[in-house]
Amino acid sequence: FSDSAASLTVKSKPVLTVSPSWLKPEASVALRCNYDNQSESWRIYWYKAVPDKSENGYRYELLPGSISETANNSFMIHGQTQTAGFTCRAGRGNPEYFTDYSEPKFVWSAVSHPAASLSVSPDREQHFTYEPVTLNCGGNSTEWRVKRFSESGDLTVVPNCSDWMKMSGSSCVVSRQSSSKAVFWCESGSGEFSNAVNITLNSLLLVSPVHPVTEGASVTLSCRLRGENKLSDVIFYHNDKLIQNDSRGELKISAVSQSDEGFYKCEHSGEASPQSWMAVKGELDSIYYCVSKPGSSSFPLLVVICCFKLTSCVPG
């Protein structure tokens, strides 16, 4: 998106907020743009941030139907299912002049998709301090970078994972982190975002799935100290409620249901692990809707057409 030559820039930067930060099925995303000297004479422009390797940052593309005719500083996005970045700015006058763009803000999805995905090895959310963690980017690109959003609100590229051409294939190793908790995701040279992953560092770990668990599947959570493979006498909590306190060192859920989704942590010898979110997805979460229609007169069968969230279909 390029401004006309007559456009001037006002040296004030709006602040964008997004809610929620982590996407849930069927949830809408609310954007809010706050800036100095707000009045009805301003129009708000909303953009999506697209990874751009030439800029080593992002290019901004105007969202369809997003130009506010008045100073309406909020905007709703429906049907967002993948990790995405957004920004905003305000303009007024004729010829129009603009504020700076806001800093980009992100909504994250834990669900991977074919164009871009992130996997972590060891395959868990919590890791020991200074433990090497391998980040693997996969999808429809040969060029990648990894971004990190820390608990303190800093957005950075990850050392050894920051240059499009200098990653070891599509993977890189993070051996030292400046923050005890951060969100990581891959960005491709073709402009795609991957799923996002929380990574937390601590001396006592809750070993839990890093990706959503399918409803009906079994899952085992355990507690670990560095150098010890298995602990006994472990206490487990679900959403801060004690759910198991005995000599077993593991929490086994034989058939996961939606009620099992939530925050988990463990406690051993008076020390508690950080909390980790365990997401649960339905067995048919990939199916968005199905419609049925009769076949043609020469082939009178009932045809069932299913549309999937990661693909599209048009009933014929």
pLDDT confidence bin for 1, thresholds 50/70/90: very low
Q: Where are the domains of the chain?
A: 15-107, 110-202, 203-285
What are the φ and ψ backbone dihedral angles of 259, each rounded to 5 degrees? -70, -15
pLDDT of res. 42: 81
15-107: what CATH class? Answer: mainly beta
Residue 282 identity (one-letter amino acid): G
pLDDT above 50: residue 304: no
pLDDT of res. 306: 41
At the topology level, CATH places domain 203-285 in: Immunoglobulin-like (2.60.40)
pLDDT above 50: residue 300: no
pLDDT above 50: residue 261: yes
Cα–Cα nearest to 121, from 54, 174, 195: 174
Least reliable range by pLDDT among 225-239, 265-279, 295-309: 295-309
- 110-202 and 203-285 have identical folds: yes
pLDDT above 60: residue 314: no
What's the CATH number for 110-202? 2.60.40.10
Tell me: the pLDDT tens digits for 211-252?
A: 889 999 999 999 999 878 778 889 999 999 999 998 888 999
